[in-house]
Structure 1
């Protein structure tokens, strides 16, 4: 394993969500075409981790080890919540606990995909026909987390063709991508600086919605796929979407919920690196704020840095560079 670190090797590996009932949640994400690629059990600490990703032969990270991927969803289950009638998660979209917004999948046929989800009995926060934006939908997972649905053909001819077949059989979930994770940020410039200069991400696309008073910033690691041409990002996996509502940076008392304070829900995003020791030394020289250094606590193979809003960013070893599994 190399003794230095290069951000060109970094990957936006996963996004962690706490769930009440892992059976129901795993079933939902498998219904969206994902595969359970790793299940870690920690009975002494009374929690399990479920890692799901697109893993068909056509998937971008097909066959890779768990931490040598992008677009992974990690579900965390704390034992007993499934039997607690009073337990609910914070989905990040309800006041006063807004922060995390959603995960997003991109699909081959958005009309058929949405009909398939609806016919399976899952609920929607927003259907394609709701509101002014007819090209996106938001499904609800079993815990009420929002799952945005966009077209893999968005921005191309025929992307939103209402004549596309809507029969559920006209969509192939194995062709989907886990495209991005959205978090709201207070100060766009501070967050962009953190994710670009400290985490080594590249700004792929900016969407300015001046009339609505917000901007969207899509960041990622170019990797072998490179920076998208013409801002077309729907066919990528593992992007980070920052949502900035104008004026929040001017309010000293304004703060987003990080998901780890009560009430809990979203936990963290995770970046896998080529050499975790060298990467953490680099972060030290950049004066990041730490939640957990490698040397803290019992788990000596993971670290957590804090972004400007206090969201946790886990740092793990990419197993391809280490030549061995992390767990």
Structure 2
């Protein structure tokens, strides 16, 4: 049962192969087994690759099954269409496009399996890339907010400097009127005279301005600090929003790119393994001698070809003969008076009918 299934997988004509030896049947069963297991590997590889895309087992298995059946059909077609002609050069030319197709299939099958085999190494590369992207993302977002924050912080510093300058001025006026009262500066008269009162009034006015300036600048500073807090909150929100995009940066293309950053030799040997598996049925047919199955298949094909050519030639000869007979028949009756008189009579009747019809039509018009 299993042997018969593999023979069907090989694309061989089961009716012809059943009449061949056991060795011939085993050869094609081996070819069919290679085709089947290659399609099975294609199914597994495609399911894994699609799982990295859809992240759903049922969808991945469904489309992976379709891909496996497609590869099975292609491999079966490739193997079954290689005919043993007895001329090795002709067979190689015949197999060349099929070998190219087999190489493409081997690449498609091997790449997803490489991704699974080197999954841990790829995860490490992806982690490094994610960290780099995270830092770069934060820097890019910071470039949008940092200039505004720095400008607002500078405004706060300017307001605080205004307060400091005003406090310095008020302290200086305070020292001036105290020194005047103590007689250590100014008029150097001890006591609170008119000059002291003038300087005290000037200090008090400046002190009132300082108090008002503190109130005004404090409100301005609070408003600016609120604006800075809003900008920083927006920055944090944008970083938080964009981080899942970076965290999910592990799709199929990202993994293929990460695989390319790993040493190439292990991947190359895996590819060569699948290339050998994929092309082995083709080379098995090319290198194997022409067997009983090939002779019987050729016998049936040439018999059908000969029959078709015979039928075609016979129909052409029949058609040619028919033309010749028709030419002779019409040439013979061309000179018969009886046929001439009959046709002349019918032509006269036809003309009379035409004249009568024309007359009646004109009469109706008038």
Pick the TM interval, shorter chain.
under 0.3
- Decide which structure has greater helix share: 2
Per the normalisation by structure 1, the TM-score is 0.18
- Decide which structure has greater strand share: 1
Per the normalisation by structure 2, the TM-score is 0.17
Query: Bigger radius of gyration, 1 or 2?
Result: 2
